[in-house]
Structure 1
């Protein structure tokens, strides 16, 4: 495919070289890079699926809807720290190297997950219980703010040009894997345990199991090959392309905005939506998240590989986002008028096919538009801001819009508006598929 003529950020010259990596080494690096993302979204999934239980145990209120809204609000609180983590840890990854930053982020995330899993309830320690949950979410948010940029930069840089899109797509595919693990575990616990056991201790199991990912992740990340010291030379402060990098940073924020709202609503809010507004049983509604996450896990690497051959921006990213905009309203109309499990599952699968097409290639496109010496910092901060403002609040906003409007279609309109903005933003990136970037 002929590259677009839009101005592209020039590659940063390297003064050191790295020996060629074998296919097996690249696979280990992909696993090491995405395992932190796996832990992050596993935690998101189980928190979202047990939001009603957490709301009842830690945020008692007069009615179930208010308790769940408070639980979702605390879920969003963790995103307050993301921009700070993105700036601090992203810059740390650019200066000290990818490996130390990735090791630190996964350790902090595991500590936050363990704190939630072990927290006493409101009935046991009163107001200190919700404060402990808030503190754990803030710690996780800080770590997660720096995770994305360092991991994505590692996926792009550790390997050849020919399959960058495929490697970067595993960052998004790992979200599907995490959601699949989390939703599958939540569904299994719901089937195996009684309601009393689930309320008493069963909901803690996924959070505590999530912490077991950390030792594996730390081991894998300690074996990531680091850049030769000379290759870390920082570009001059008076870089003539600085304005282009800032422009691309803003485009990244708005490009991520629409797709992160779609992610959090379709993969994490949908079980709660099915229970509260479609009247589906709790155990059955968990299958909606399983279906959405399975599509993400399977299709993201396929679309990423296609983008290595066809191009990132056009046709895949643009077509996927346009199709998502067109189908969102009819999809929610069908679900609300025919609220059965088969209808919900088929509708979600169709939406997720469009979502993954519009998102997977962009996970290579966006970081490829930054130079190596700034890539992790710019990507971490942009991703953290977008996810904090729009992703972390999407479940709360979706529930609030339904609550104040009385319209179960309200989440569709919110998603359509956000995806339209992201469609415009992604159209402004330079095409990078098949090009040397560093």
Structure 2
């Protein structure tokens, strides 16, 4: 090979590496912004309950607000099927741009919606419509973003790249909880109730152009040739779709309880001040952001996904009850945050490699559709309802340990499903 050709090859390799890095950054940051827009609602549940769902019993008011949070997940399966299929047909960039645009509209509606005191029942209706639009967008985001992360770059780092899907959710939770904590500490209770809670939703709307700008780097070529038909109902793929749904079940229940419900739980049952309870979510989010890429990279080095998934989920199952017991016996901030951090350590170990294992089980031309719809169904059925179920179980049983038992059951089923998926850490991506 001549010096000129060698130089050209090196330049091409460098350019390809740079392009892949840009695509991964675009998918990750855009995913972060979308999850921020969707989940910031949960950090202001108690405030939103007063503004849009007033009731004589504060617990009932909170349950109504959590119901509106859960309603957003009902549209996720439709978004997963429609936008995931769109991503496979029209290309990743087209779908990713559309999802971030729809998410921003939903955030704007919530930010600008008049209160119940101003327009009555129309106020919660506006919030519910906005949550449905956000859910539709989020359902399509997951499959397209995860497929992009998995497919861009070398096979040897697939687990690391795919783990940024979960890490970006941690970053979104950190951004949301950090914003909520800053506003809670900076504003009086009346200011927060009157206008402060709207600020995070406005931020989510205004940063939409940033996400669209970044995603211009993502390839937009259709993945199917004209006239090509994908066997979307192939029995083997349908079986793996169901396994993916139940694998995600444990992950999503743990996410929404440990990251989003614990602040509410800490305020209502551990009697921590609301301002301090926000710090539990910040701790959980930092763990997710920091640890997910480490576990993803380790699964690449081991060339196996399942061992980390099994050890992580088994450890979390064993630790859940003692952790919740300690939080109730010693309801002080260091103990609560410490228990959350320990649980998140094993949660990320068991979850980050799964975000590579699941999409690797599907062929490229149907990957976004299968994965997006599986994620959307699992999150709609289990994630979006996790906080509501946890709060309801405590109310009907009178047992503050009920959330731990619910998580244990979901994680056990999820672990079994993950073990039944094909090990893909040492194999090429199915084409």
Q: Under a length normalisation based on structure 2, what TM-score does the superposition of the two structures give? A: 0.94
Pick from 151, 169, 173: which aligns with 1:179?
Answer: 173
Cα distance in 1 for partners of 2:229, 2:180 equals 50
Give secondary structure in 2 for the equivalent of 1:427.
Answer: helix
Give secondary structure in 2 for the equivalent of 1:226.
Answer: coil
Flag the structure with more relative contact order, 1 or 2, with Cα contacts below 8 A and sequence separation at least 6: 1
Pick from 23, 31, 38: which aligns with 2:25?
Answer: 31
Q: Does 1:216 align with 2:210?
A: yes
Pick from 73, 76, 79: which aligns with 2:73?
Answer: 79
Cα distance in 2 for partners of 1:234, 1:249 equals 26
For the 8 Å contact 2:245–2:374, the answer to whether it is kept is: yes
Cα distance in 2 for partners of 1:393, 1:238 equals 33
User: CA distance change for structure 1 residues 335 and 77 in 2, over 3 Å: closer, same or farther?
Assistant: same
Q: Does 1:232 align with 2:224?
A: yes
For the 8 Å contact 1:303–1:361, the answer to whether it is kept is: yes
For the 8 Å contact 2:249–2:383, the answer to whether it is kept is: yes
Q: Shift in Å at residue 48 of structure 1?
A: 1.1
Q: Aligned pairs, how many?
A: 418
Pick from 427, 430, 434: which aligns with 2:419?
Answer: 427
Matched with 1:118 is 112
Cα distance in 2 for partners of 1:39, 1:200 equals 25
Q: Shift in Å at residue 35 of structure 1?
A: 2.8
Q: Shift in Å at residue 41 of structure 1?
A: 2.5
Cα distance in 1 for partners of 2:31, 2:293 equals 15
Cα distance in 2 for partners of 1:283, 1:240 equals 49
Give secondary structure in 2 for the equivalent of 1:61.
Answer: coil
Pick from 47, 69, 88: which aligns with 1:94?
Answer: 88
1:268-347 pair list within 5 angstroms: 268-347=260-339
Pick from 149, 159, 162: which aligns with 1:155?
Answer: 149
For the 8 Å contact 1:266–1:348, the answer to whether it is kept is: yes
Higher helix share: 2
Moved >4 Å (runs of 4+): 234-241
Cα distance in 2 for partners of 1:418, 1:115 equals 34
Q: Does 1:199 align with 2:193?
A: yes
In structure 1, runs of 5+ residues without a counterpart are: 1-18
Matched with 2:382 is 390
Matched with 1:66 is 60
RMSD: 1.6
Cα distance in 1 for partners of 2:365, 2:40 equals 36
Cα distance in 2 for partners of 1:239, 1:110 equals 34
Give secondary structure in 1 for the equivalent of 2:155.
Answer: coil
| 1:215-241 deviations in Å (ceiling 9; x for gaps) | 1111111221334x6x63389658599
| 1:21-55 deviations in Å (ceiling 9; x for gaps) | 63332222112112332123223442111101101
In structure 2, runs of 5+ residues without a counterpart are: 1-11
For the 8 Å contact 1:94–1:376, the answer to whether it is kept is: yes
For the 8 Å contact 2:30–2:215, the answer to whether it is kept is: no
Matched with 1:165 is 159
Pick from 44, 47, 51: which aligns with 2:45?
Answer: 51
Cα distance in 2 for partners of 1:416, 1:313 equals 21
Q: Which moved more, 1:96-105 or 1:241-250?
A: 241-250
Q: Shift in Å at residue 347 of structure 1?
A: 0.5
Pick from 397, 417, 428: which aligns with 2:409?
Answer: 417
Pick from 342, 348, 373: which aligns with 2:340?
Answer: 348
For the 8 Å contact 1:36–1:147, the answer to whether it is kept is: no
Give secondary structure in 1 for the equivalent of 2:217.
Answer: coil
1:393-408 pair list within 5 angstroms: 393-408=385-400
Q: Shift in Å at residue 243 of structure 1?
A: 1.4
| 1:82-141 deviations in Å (ceiling 9; x for gaps) | 111111111111111111011000000010011111110000111110000000001001
